[in-house]
A and B are shown apart, each in its own frame.
Chain A
Amino acid sequence: MISLWKIFSVFAKIGAFTIGGGIPMIAAIKSELVERKWLNDEDFIDIITLAQTAPGLFAVNISILTGHRLRGTKGSVVATIGSCLPPFLIILLVAMFFTSFKDNEYVIKAFKGIRPVVVALIGVPMIDMLRATKMNWWKWIVVISSMILVCFLSVSPIYILICVIVMAVFISWHNNKKIREKKI
């Protein structure tokens, strides 16, 4: 069994070293959790999907879901504290002592290099996940149309998620009915 301390320290590492928010964290979470064999590729995609759909912050949701998978409710609590504590402490330090650090010349230069890297940090896990998902024609349509709707037509992601849920409920209900009718 994986110890609670281990769960805490892995999520604390993820929380302390990922810049640019929740989605760029996917790469770090994947390298820590999947390569550690805590999750397999399929579990990982399930967790990412649930974390994205549920309300709240993506990174926090991932911590709750993974913690729960590993050690139940206790695991969720520990993983969430782990991923929130380092950013909390860092922000407190900044708020108390370094309010001017964002105007520092070296910090500005470093960020000019980090920002393009963040795009790669999101793109690469996305490609990995596309390859791990059994894609077919309708899945490609969903991927591409949701990108076009959000990126170019500024549709809120909430509507896309609601639409997909409603359609999926109807389609799986319909398919199941057909299967049952055939059996009779």
Chain B
Amino acid sequence: MSIYIELFLTFFIIGMFTIGGGYAMLSLIQNEVVTVHGWLTDTAFTDIVAISQMTPGPIGINSATYVGYEVLARAGASEFMSILGSFTATFAVVLPSFIIVLLLCKVYERWKDHHIFKGVLNGLKPATLGLIGTAAISLATPENFIDWKSYVICIVAFIALYLKKIGPFAIIGLGALAGLLIY
């Protein structure tokens, strides 16, 4: 029982202090799960990150679910108890931002026409766009762009998406197909 409480508290704190999305969360998870609690080894954690990036969904949710499962499974718990572990970690990681963002919704609806709130939102908009641009640039690494064909795929996808010729779901499927055919 105590492991579930510990898992809950650990992921609750991780969820509360994550600012800047999934990748920021990964370093917090690594610190807590590998260094502080010693629940997983570094290699096990690296594998979990790789799989979290390769499966659909937010990376923070994927890795919390996986870590919750593995921590229990490695401690010798049954399948059912391990699933309960993954549920605990996922629930705990979502809960703090759920409470905070729900309060933010109330603030937004109450104050959205106030001049200071408007000013802050107006200032944050371009900063958010800048941070989103940063995410695109930080993914343009040699690991993700292995040769000239990668650039062709990226440019074709860019044009197709920009001209609304194709939806975002279909483009991921076509990217996978291109990878299978070319490489």
Contacts and interface: CB of A to CB of B under 8 A. Distances in A.
Interface in A1-48: 13, 15-23, 25-28, 31, 45-46, 48
A64 B123 contact: no
B93 to A, nearest CB: 8
Most buried by A among B119, B135, B161, B169: B135
Contacts of B90: 84, 88
Interface string B111-151: 00001101111111111111111111111100011100011
B180 interface: yes
Contacts of B60: 21-22, 57, 60
Given A22-B22, A91-B62, A92-B69, A109 B180 contact: yes
A23 to B, nearest CB: 5
B133 A56 contact: no
A151 B179 contact: no
A169 B57 CA distance: 35
Contacts of A95: 65-66, 69-70, 73, 82, 86
B18 interface: yes
Nearest to B153: A116
A28 B171 CA distance: 10
A112 B147 CA distance: 10
Contact of A116 (B52, B83, B144, B161): B144
Interface in A29-77: 31, 45-46, 48-61, 64-65, 68-69, 73, 76
Interface residues of B, number: 98
A169 B116 contact: yes
A56 B180 contact: no
Contacts of B21: 21-23, 52, 57-58
12 contacts: A16-B56, A17-B172, A18-B56, A21-B23, A87-B62, A95-B66, A101-B54, A106-B180, A129-B132, A157-B131, A168-B119, A168-B122
Interface of B: 15-25, 47, 50-62, 65-66, 69-70, 73, 79, 82-83, 86-87, 90, 93-94, 96-98, 100-102, 104-105, 108, 115-116, 118-140, 144-146, 150-151, 153-155, 157-158, 161-162, 167-169, 171-172, 174-180, 182-183
